[in-house]
Structures are given as structure tokens and as C-alpha cells.
Amino acid sequence: MLQNAALQLVKQADSLAKQGDIKRAIATYRTAKTWNADLDFEPKIRAQQFVTVGEAEALAKAGKIDSAIIAYQKALDLDKSLELDPEQDAKHIAVGAFMREGIRLGENGDAAGAEAAFRKALAMDPSLPLDPELKAQKLAVNSLIEQALEHLSSEDFDKAITQFRQVSSLALAVDISEEDWPKLCLQLTLNGFAADVLRACDLAVEVDPLPGRWRSRRGLARALAGDREGAIADFQAYIDWANTTHAVSKEALENSIQSRQAWLDSLRAGKNPFTPEKIEELKNGGF
């Protein structure tokens, strides 16, 4: 029992030495040796070895590979029995650091920074199953969409559209709930950003498991963005769906069908049914 505990103490001391806490490392090594007389090392020398290993790891994490290799080699020169491969260990540490940095940047919406970090990782280890641009964009897009949805919840529509515009510039499919696209489409449309949010409206229609359900929302965006013919097509498609679907009761859709038919008739007559007063009504739950 005590011998096994001594081995755990050695690991703790190694960690302390890597962190530069030499005094505590040496004291812990000495305690371990009193618990297990078979431990064959000199505490001060082992502490210095792992101080050097810690320095090597810090250099590798900073991308200073050549300096890290030299530091690892110094540690190995102090004790040839250490399981170290200076070049491979330095690259392994650096790859992990670059990958973590890429993920951090991507999750903060910085696709360019994330891609640069992933490319550094791939340069260190070409065997990585990694597409730097794709991984960076996926991380950034999902982060930006989450932020946009948070801003929608707090009714900060200017910030929400800013985030969504960045998503649109990346032109990449996003793995979010199928209910989020129509939410972005409708709320940003009603708050003055119809032309900017058409991509979200398109995606709402594309991923909808009930073909036709979200055509009405895209129809509104198209109408407000000046695409009268597109709006007419969408409202007609919605009405056709609502009249034939079995997923929702006809009674539940009756008012919706009537309002869309009225909008459709106005648009076909060359009129604009979406006056400022109507938009305010829709904002207040009239959609």
C-alpha cells in the first residue's frame, strides 16, 4: 500500500516540478523515497529534469518547436531513462495547443483565426483528419447563430442581425434546431431586416419536415424585401399546404388561411398589405 502511495507522490512531485515549484517537488520526492526505498533517483536531479520538461511543454504550447526540442533534450541528457522523444513530444504538445486555440477562436465566432490555428496543427501533424477551413467555419457559424438567438430572446435585433450577417458571409450549413430558422426569419423580418434574413427563411423552408409550413414566413420576408412574385408563390404554397395537411387540424389553421388569402389577394392586385400598422399587429402576436 505504502509503495503504491509513494508512486503517486512521485507523480505529484513531477507535476510540481513542471510548474516550477522546485522546493515542494524535492520535499515530495524525499517523502516518496522514505515510503519506498526501491525508488532510485536523486530528488534534486529529478526535480531539475521535470522543471526542464515543464519549460519544454510551455515552449511547445507557444509554438516554439525548436526551443522546445532543445529543452526536452536537456531533460533527457539529465536522465536517459526518461521516456522522451524530443521532436515528437514537442510536436504533439504543439498540435494539441493549436487545436485548442482553434476551437476557442471558432467558438467565439472568429473563423479566420480558428482556421489559421488549425492549419498550424495540420502542418505539425499532416495525418490529422482535419479540414481547417470547414472545421473553423462550422464552429464559428454555430457560435454566431447561438449568439443571434440569444440577442433575439433579449429583443436586441441590431445585434442579432449583425451576428446573422456574419453567418451568411460564411455560406455554410448550420447544425441547429429546425425551429430556430423560422424564428430568425420571422422576428428579424418583422423588425426591419427582411432583405438580410432571406437566407434564414430559405433554410427554414428547406429543413421543414412539413413542406409548406414555413412558406408563409418566407412570403412575408419576400414581400417586405420587394419580391412580390416570390411572396405570392409562398403564400399560395402555404394555403395549399394548410388546406391539405393532416399534421394540424383544419380548425386550428382557419384564421391563418384567411389572413394569408387576404394578403395574397392584395399582392395580386398590386397592393401592399403590410402597412406599418399591420407589421405592429404581427409583432404583437398576430402572425
Distance between alpha carbon 29 and the CA centroid of its chain, in Å? Answer: 43
pLDDT band at 169 (very low <50, low <70, confident <90, very high): low
Q: Whole-angstrom Cα distance, residue 176 to residue 144? A: 11
Which residue, 109, 124, 139, sits at the end of a domain?
Answer: 124
> Phi, psi (5° rounding) for residue 193?
-120, 35
Note if the pTM is more than 0.85.
Answer: no
Structural domain span for residue 64: 2-124
- For residue 159, being part of any structural domain is answered with no
Q: Are residues 268 and 191 in the same domain?
A: yes
The CATH number of whichever domain residue 228 belongs to comes to: 1.25.40
pLDDT in tens, 26-65: 888 888 888 988 888 888 888 888 888 888 888 988 889 9
* Residues 104 and 189 placed together within one structural domain of the fold: no
Evaluate whether 86 touches 57 at the Cβ level (below 8 Å): no
Verify that 9 and 74 share a domain, yes or no. yes
* Confidence category of residue 203, pLDDT binned at 50, 70, 90: confident
Give the model's pLDDT for residue 173: 55
Indicate if 200 and 274 belong to the same structural domain.
Answer: yes
Number of domain units in the chain: 2
> Is 188 found in the same domain as 120?
no
C-alpha cell read off for 72? 526536452
Q: Do 182 and 120 share a structural domain?
A: no
Residue with cell 401592399: 272
Cα distance between the two ends of the chain: 71
Residues 50 and 244: their CA atoms lie apart, in Å, by 73
* Residue 144, pLDDT score: 81
- Domain termination residue (choose one: 124, 159, 185): 124
Inside any domain, residue 157: no
Asked, for residue 29, whether it belongs to a domain, the answer is yes
If asked whether residues 119 and 188 sit together in one domain, one would say no
The model's confidence at residue 271, banded by pLDDT at 50, 70 and 90, is very high
Tell me if 46 is assigned to some domain. yes
114/201 same-domain check: no
Is position 8 within any domain?
yes
Residue 136: inside a domain, yes or no? Answer: no
